[in-house]
Amino acid sequence: MLYPVNEVFETIQGEGVNTGLPSIFVRLQGCPVGCPWCDTRQTWEQFPENEVTPEQVLQTDGSVGRWAWYNSAALLAAFTAQAFSAKHVVLTGGEPCLFDLTELTQALNRAGYSTQLETSGTFEVKCSEATWVTVSPKIAMKGGLTVKPQALKRANEIKHPVATSTHIEQLDALLEGVDLTGKVVCLQPISQKPHATALAINTCIARNWRLSVQTHKYLQID
Ligand SMILES: C[S@@+](CC[C@H](N)C(=O)[O-])C[C@H]1O[C@@H](n2cnc3c(N)ncnc32)[C@H](O)[C@@H]1O
Ligand SMILES: Nc1nc2[nH]cc(C(=O)O)c2c(=O)[nH]1
Ligand code: SF4
Ligand SMILES: [Mg+2]
């Protein structure tokens, strides 16, 4: 299966439970969710005129919406060609669950990589059993999509972006009746805003949830 890839790079996982883990990020192109504060707006549209060769994607930093088709074998070959050391692959986007990721994650696992998804939960999650699934639920965004119960059920980690108390109330409503056994709940301040960070800290302490700050932004790395 072919996937539209916006960028492939090696860095340190900056968010969530796996913070600090050296990781290869594969950012897929395309997202219809429409979060007003999205870090990666360049991945929203998959414009045909922005298609480039796989080599060109490896040479750019993904800050523009260029993308190329890759299959799992070509991605694995790119990891080798780039001499990446990390053995953990994070599939993000854009919205990676626009695509069936089963074959890709299984191929990565077979090649010795652990895998993780970063998803909004607005599409069914299709991936290998071994994949760590981080759902960052998107509620009442412009695209009008809703969070799929299957995605919440499959989540290993629920990492909610927050800036106001309304975001906490929306998360509470979403999680009502969801069995959280074995799942980690994190709050992630939106765009490092001081108010958002204070709200996340205070709520995490009150609820015994995890705090996820975007450490890569503080470190000024990708
Ligand atoms: C860019 S999204 C891509 C994956 C997927 N579309 C999703 O939303 O989970 C990756 C992560 O960044 C988070 N994120 C995006 N923009 C952010 C911002 N301005 N502040 C905090 N977190 C943000 C998302 O909530 C998500 O957890
Ligand atoms: N360092 C780093 N960690 C991240 N964790 C999730 C990211 C994402 O954009 O999905 C991200 C990212 O873009 N960079
Ligand atoms: S779902 Fe993810 S990629 Fe899509 S707009 Fe929201 S944060 Fe950005
Ligand atoms: Mg990011």
Residues annotated in the binding site, as ranges?
Answer: 12-14, 27, 31, 35, 37-40, 92, 94, 136-138
Which ligand 3 atom sits closest to the C-alpha of 122?
1
Contact 122 CB / ligand 1 (< 6 Å): no
Instruction: Please tell me what DSSP assigns to residue 130.
Output: T
Interface predicted TM-score of the whole assembly (ipTM), two decimals: 0.99
Contact 95 CB / ligand 1 (< 6 Å): yes
CA of 18 to the centre of ligand 3 (A): 20
Instruction: Please tell me what DSSP assigns to residue 49.
Output: G
Cβ proximity of 160 and 190 under 8 Å: no
Contact 41 CB / ligand 1 (< 6 Å): no
**Residue to probe by mutation, ligand 2, list 216, 217, 219, most atoms within 8 Å of CB:** 216
Contact 40 CB / ligand 1 (< 6 Å): yes
Q: State the Cα–Cα distance between residues 163 and 2, nearest whole angstrom.
A: 36
Residues annotated in the binding site for Mg(2+), as ranges?
Answer: 40
In terms of Cα–Cα distance, which of 2, 85, 7 is closest to 39? 7
* Total number of domains constituting the chain: 1
Residues in the chain, total: 222
Residue 95 domain boundaries: 3-219
**Residue to probe by mutation, ligand 1, list 17, 25, 118, most atoms within 8 Å of CB:** 118
Sequence letter at residue 83: A
Say which CATH number the domain at 124 has.
3.20.20.70
- The pTM assigned to this predicted structure is 0.99
C-alpha distances (whole Å) from 121 to each of 61, 75, 105, 136 are: 26, 24, 17, 7
Give φ, ψ of 103 to 5 degrees.
-65, -40
* Helix, strand, coil percentages for the chain (3-state, nearest 5): 35, 25, 45
Q: State the Cα–Cα distance between residues 60 and 64, nearest whole angstrom.
A: 8
Token output for 22: 């050296």
How many helical (H) and strand (E) elements, i.e. helices and strands, does the chain have? 7, 9
pLDDT tens for each residue of the chain, 222 residues long: 999 999 999 999 999 999 999 999 999 999 999 999 999 999 999 999 999 999 999 998 899 999 999 999 999 999 999 999 999 999 999 999 999 999 999 999 999 999 999 999 999 999 999 999 999 999 999 999 999 999 999 999 999 999 999 999 999 999 999 999 999 999 999 999 999 999 999 999 999 999 999 999 999 999
